[in-house]
Structure 1
Amino acid sequence: MRVSVTDAKAQLTELVRRAEAGDEVILTRHGQPAVRLVPLQPRPTARSRRALMEAVQASAAAKATAGPTAARSQDFLYADDGMPE
């Protein structure tokens, strides 16, 4: 749906309702698209963010494999003095 900015002033509440319902509302200026009204995504709560982080950590722990640490993984590339071989 395209509406001029001038016309949108009189029906802003209705346009916001339509955008929240999922309709694409584009405001035009001199016939050219200027603005698109879109609904905001709800902000995640602290509880949902914590649950997501715990799920990611559990998934990473399940995928981890035993092996050398990152500090030791490339030692073979360097001599005892720390210079590349």
Structure 2
Amino acid sequence: MRISVTEAKGQLTDLVRRAEAGDEVVLTRHGQPAARLVAVKAAMDRKSRRALLEAARRSGSAKAKAGPGAARSQDFLYGDDGLPG
């Protein structure tokens, strides 16, 4: 929804309710977008945030594959004589 700042002054409570319900409210000035009203997402509590991080760590560990170490990761660039090949 687009509405001018002047019109929005008298309807602020309704516009905030609409934003909380998920509608995007764009305030315009001289026909150009000036501001946007959107609902604020609730921040995660500490326990939920920790659980999310732990799940991400477990997922990453499960997907990790063993491979060559970093010291040997570029050996294919060199020949048997140790020179770039």
Q: Deviations over 1:4-48 (max 9, x none)?
A: 111211111110001111222111112222111111121111111
Q: Percent identity?
A: 71
Q: Output aligned runs, 1:1-85, within 5 Å.
A: 1-71=1-71, 73-74=73-74
Q: In 1, Cα distance between the equivalents of 2:5 and 2:60?
A: 50
Q: TM-score, normalised on structure 2?
A: 0.72
> CA RMSD of the aligned region, Å?
2.6
Aligned partner letter, 2:37 = L
* TM-aligned CA distance change 1:68 to 1:5, over 3 Å: same
Aligned residue type for 2:52:
L
> Structure 1 residues 60 and 37, CA, compared in 2 at 3 Å: closer, same or farther?
same
Change (3 A) 1:31 1:76: closer
Structure 1: state its 5+ residue gaps: 79-83
- Distance 1:71-1:7 versus aligned 2 partners, 3 A rule: same
- Judging changes above 3 Å, is the alpha-carbon distance between structure 1 residues 32 and 77 closer, same or farther for their aligned structure 2 residues? closer
- How many residue pairs get aligned? The number is 85
Structure 2: where are the runs of 5+ without partners? 79-83
SS at match of 2:18: helix
